[in-house]
Amino acid sequence: MMSAFKALAFSVTVLLLSLGSPASKADPVELTVQGNKVEAVINLTGNVSADLTLTFENSVGLTADNIGITSELINITDLSLLNRLPDTLNINLLAAFPMLITIEPPSNKGFAFSGLATVDIHTHNLEYLPGTPLRFFKAPLNGQFEDITATMGSGSYRARGTTGKFSQFLIVADLRPVLTVVNTKYNRLSNKLSAFSTQIDPILYTDLSSKLTEVQQLITQQNYIQASNKVDDFSRIIEQADPADIPNVWRSSRDIDNVAGELVAYANTLRFSLRLAN
């Protein structure tokens, strides 16, 4: 499905200053860019640290200067940040990991990618335990945060999310009931599909809309395994579609929508929550 980008291979290791709050000390971020992958080692004041890996299906113009990764310590009582969470009573910022990561490629650098961007985060500041409420959240720059968790790993905390555009990232404790999250994610995906309807081939849009109707029916029936399978079918339809029928490119000029990437990313995190509900 994804349009063919000419692969640009770079291997660069640089030190970037993270953007901390005025009271925090700026710490270096070790950044390595090679091919379609970015690896960042982030060490902030107070031994708050993380490894971040950003992987693209295809990219053009991916360099250390073009990707725009910064990080900062946050105040977990900051109302301007708390008010960006979807539920301020049941979603908590973490004193053990008060880190905000921002990925905002400069608009004039000519960077672009097709399909999904996969974001993996690993930190020793947090521990994964069965039933953990820890989740990986993202938001548009200064916008509302939402759960994008697609997978989690055991031991020190590891999480993966996917996205079709760039964002700010947090790890939070999400105490909402899993079915509340499932319904929220389903509605988000359905609303996003409707919002993109004019950019999708009508026949393809009908197929995708029908598939989501099946997902909704299975959720209502509490058949979460089959609902998850139908979400996989939804993603597969997009992945096999012609890019002429559904746009699949994000670029730093921010003048087009990566419709395919965003829809598959929303589907990935819905599938994650459906499996928890089972």
Only one residue has tokens 């009508």, namely 202
Residues 155 and 54 in one domain: yes
Ranges of beta strands (E only) in the chain are 12-17, 28-34, 37-44, 48-60, 69-73, 91-92, 99-103, 112-128, 134-139, 146-147, 149-153, 155-163, 168-174, 249-251
**Whether pLDDT at 137 is above 60:** yes
Backbone phi, then psi, for 263, in 5-degree steps?
-65, -40
- End of a domain among 176, 206, 240? 176
**Residue 160 lies in domain:** 12-176
Mean pLDDT, residues 101-118 taken together:
95
Residues 219 and 260 in one domain: yes
* Closest alpha carbon to 105 in 117, 93, 89, 90: 117
- Domain assignment of residue 4, yes or no: no
Computed over every residue of the chain, the mean pLDDT equals 91
Looking at residue 155, its pLDDT comes to 82
Residues 125 and 225 in one domain: no
Looking at residue 82, its pLDDT comes to 97
Q: How confident is residue 278, by pLDDT bands cut at 50, 70 and 90? A: confident
- Domain assignment of residue 135, yes or no: yes
- End of a domain among 176, 196, 213? 176
Structural domain total, the chain: 2
* Closest alpha carbon to 97 in 139, 17, 158: 158
User: What whole-number percentage of the chain has pLDDT above 90?
Assistant: 87
pLDDT digits (tens, 9 = 90+) for 11-30: 233 333 333 333 344 344 78
**Whether pLDDT at 10 is above 80:** no
Task: State in Å, rounded, how far the first CA of the chain is from the last one.
Answer: 31
- End of a domain among 125, 156, 176? 176
Residue 234: CA count within 13 A, CB half-sphere: 33
Residues 191 and 163 in one domain: no
CATH, residue 109: 2.60.220
Q: CA-to-CA distance for 204 and 241, rounded, in angstroms?
A: 8
- Which of 6-15, 79-88, 127-136, 157-166 has the lowest average pLDDT? 6-15
- Domain assignment of residue 5, yes or no: no
- Domain assignment of residue 3, yes or no: no
Q: CA-to-CA distance for 221 and 41, rounded, in angstroms?
A: 44
Residues 165 and 111 in one domain: yes
Residues 144 and 70 in one domain: yes
Only one residue has tokens 């946050």, namely 74
Residues 151 and 190 in one domain: no
Looking at residue 30, its pLDDT comes to 84
- Domain assignment of residue 1, yes or no: no
Q: CA-to-CA distance for 278 and 273, rounded, in angstroms?
A: 9
pLDDT digits (tens, 9 = 90+) for 214-254: 999 999 999 999 999 999 999 999 999 999 999 999 999 99
Residues 51 and 171 in one domain: yes
Q: CA-to-CA distance for 56 and 178, rounded, in angstroms?
A: 29
* Amino acid, single-letter form, for residue 49: S
